Amino acid sequence: MDTQLNDPFSSGRPNLFPNRDIAPRLFAALHAMSFDGIGITRAAYGPKESEAHALVRAEAERLGLAVETDHAGNLSMTLKGADPELPRLMLGSHLDSVRSGGNYDGAAGVLAGLSVVAGLVQAGFRPARDITVIAVRAEETGSWFPVSYAGSRAALGRLPPEALDVPRMDDGRTLAEHMREEGFDPDAVRAGRAGIDPATVAAFVELHIEQGPVLDEQAVPLGIVTGIPGSRRYRAARVFGEYNHSGATPRRLRRDAGLAAAELAYRLDAEWARLEAEGHTLVCTFCVLATAPEAGFTMIPGEARFELDMRSENRASVDLLHEALMRLVAEIEASRGVRFDLGAESGSLSSRMDERLQAEMATAAEAAGVPHLAMLSGGGHDAAAFAQAGIPASLLFVRNQFGSHNPREAMRMEDFDAACAVISRWVVARAGNDGA
């Protein structure tokens, strides 16, 4: 397999650099339009997400790109190539956010794509094939709706129809209602209409801030992701016991839902440690673990609630942890006289990133003098949906100093510029190559 790329900087085009002015300006505008007093909030299929799409669409139109919004609201901004029959390159990510999150998660990938394409436009470079920057809708649906990759799977015609009927977790209105309210067509999504044909896409590349500390800890600006984990999740699990007086009820007569939930968390964490010791790579998080609001001082809690997120790139690993969960639930029910109701299970499939693209990105990084590290992703990303549809996909991480999904989310612009330079080298090499 030939993974060597032509070096565009040795072909008489030293000005094929990404535009460094667009991203800082658009990051500032995105922050101004969506700051909620604490962090950034752009709800999936909400007005602020639509405002963000309008902002980048206007920038694409100023660059002279061909602009199109599909039936699910995904925005494509295309620099046309000389041969429209060649499969196109796609760059991008999402513009929605979690509640009170940061300004870079998702948006960095869209603005990187625009920066790269703007550099080509300014240089007068006409690619052999189309280069499309895509702003995907609703990647963060897990924070608003219990659905993974709603926008990208809808674009690919792969969103299950029943996903449109799930209620948003804060207002109870369905994904279809919110989609329609923003001007899109959930009926077309339900029918499986595809706006993107995998046969017409040579590769999808997503840049994203790293959501953990690995790159910053190792003083490396760029990560080349090898795989994205799958998950098994319970978003509305409950434990039912019996409310009673905290002073008057002996231990042998208690059915304490709070202690039952705490025991499950402690023992499942021990199972996670055991699996890690056996060589499995996975994570397990009780994202919420609390007694019901009705509990109070002097009361034995009769109900507790939790949300559980188990992830691994290896489905067998997360399945082993799930088996332990089921065993522990039964044991704790028997010993404490409580009842667990885990509710509906949701989750996503793991996805390997394309090996050829990983090698090409490494070659481009080395040519650009950008230190890089091969690594797994801890979180889910739209690149997984593209990979599952059969499109070669690559995910790049930019180091981030304060984690993700929080207002302190950070990214040094020099690291972002370095990542854009890597993508630009790769794009010029692939866009000028008649092969796919």
Residues 354 and 420 in one domain: yes
Three-state DSSP state, 209: strand
Residue 436 lies in a domain: no
Q: Residue 191 CB: number of other CB atoms within 10 A?
A: 11
How many independent structural domains does the chain possess?
A: 2
Closest CA to 121 of 44, 15, 279, 234: 15
Spatial distance between the Cα atoms of 199 and 389, rounded to a whole number of angstroms: 10
Residues 278 and 204 in one domain: no
Contact 383, 351 (CB under 8 A): yes
What mean pLDDT do residues 357-366 have?
97
Global pTM value = 0.85
DSSP 53-101: HHHHHHHHHHTT-EEEE-TT--EEEEE--S-TTSPEEEEEEE----TTB
Residue 2 lies in a domain: no
Residue 189 lies in a domain: yes
Residues 57 and 129 in one domain: yes
Last residue of a domain, one of 348, 363, 394: 348
User: Measured over all CA atoms, what is the biggest interatomic distance in the chain, rounded to whole angstroms?
Assistant: 85
Q: Take residue 75 and report the two structure tokens written for it.
A: 């925005």
- Report CA-CA distances (Å) from 124 to 51, 57, 376: 30, 21, 37
Last residue of a domain, one of 348, 375, 410: 348
H-helix or E-strand containing 303?
strand 303-312
What mean pLDDT do residues 395-401 have?
95
Residues 45 and 190 in one domain: yes
Question: Please, is 193 exposed, middle or buried when counting C-beta atoms within 10 Å of its C-beta (0-12, 13-18, 19+)?
Answer: middle
Three-state DSSP state, 150: helix
Last residue of a domain, one of 348, 382, 397: 348
Spatial distance between the Cα atoms of 346 and 309, rounded to a whole number of angstroms: 10
Q: Which domain holds residue 299?
A: 231-348
Q: One-letter amino acid identity for 250?
A: P
Q: What is the CATH number of the domain that holds 140?
A: 3.40.630.10
Query: What residues have CB less than 8 Å from 12, skipping those under 6 apart?
Result: none
Quick check: 413 pLDDT over 80?
A: yes
pLDDT-above-90 percentage for the chain:
87
What are residue 421's phi and psi, to 5 degrees? -65, -40
Residues 193 and 240 in one domain: no
Residues 223 and 109 in one domain: yes
Residues 327 and 378 in one domain: no
Residue 236 lies in a domain: yes
- pLDDT value at residue 14: 43
Place of tokens 């996909």: 393
What does the pLDDT look like over 59-112, one tens digit per residue? Answer: 999 999 999 999 999 999 999 999 999 999 999 999 999 999 999 999 999 999
Residues 338 and 358 in one domain: no
Residue 342 lies in a domain: yes
Q: What is the CATH number of the domain that holds 320?
A: 3.30.70.360
Residues 169 and 296 in one domain: no
- pLDDT value at residue 20: 95
Confidence of residue 3 (pLDDT cuts 50, 70, 90): very low
What does the pLDDT look like over 146-155, one tens digit per residue? Answer: 888 999 999 9
Spatial distance between the Cα atoms of 334 and 188, rounded to a whole number of angstroms: 48
Residue 119 lies in a domain: yes
H-helix or E-strand containing 244?
strand 244-245
Helix 257-277 vs helix 315-336: angle between axes, to the nearest 10 degrees?
150
What mean pLDDT do residues 166-184 have?
95
Residues 38 and 158 in one domain: yes
Residue 34 lies in a domain: yes
What does the pLDDT look like over 288-306, one tens digit per residue? Answer: 999 999 999 999 999 999 9
Phi-psi region of 37 (alpha: psi -120 to 50; beta: other; left: phi over 0): left
What mean pLDDT do residues 159-176 have?
94
Residues 220 and 364 in one domain: yes
Q: One-letter amino acid identity for 261?
A: A
Closest CA to 98 of 57, 166, 145, 56: 145
What mean pLDDT do residues 111-118 have?
98
Residues 344 and 354 in one domain: no
Positive or negative, the CA dihedral 15, 17, 23, 24 is: negative
Spatial distance between the Cα atoms of 87 and 433, rounded to a whole number of angstroms: 11
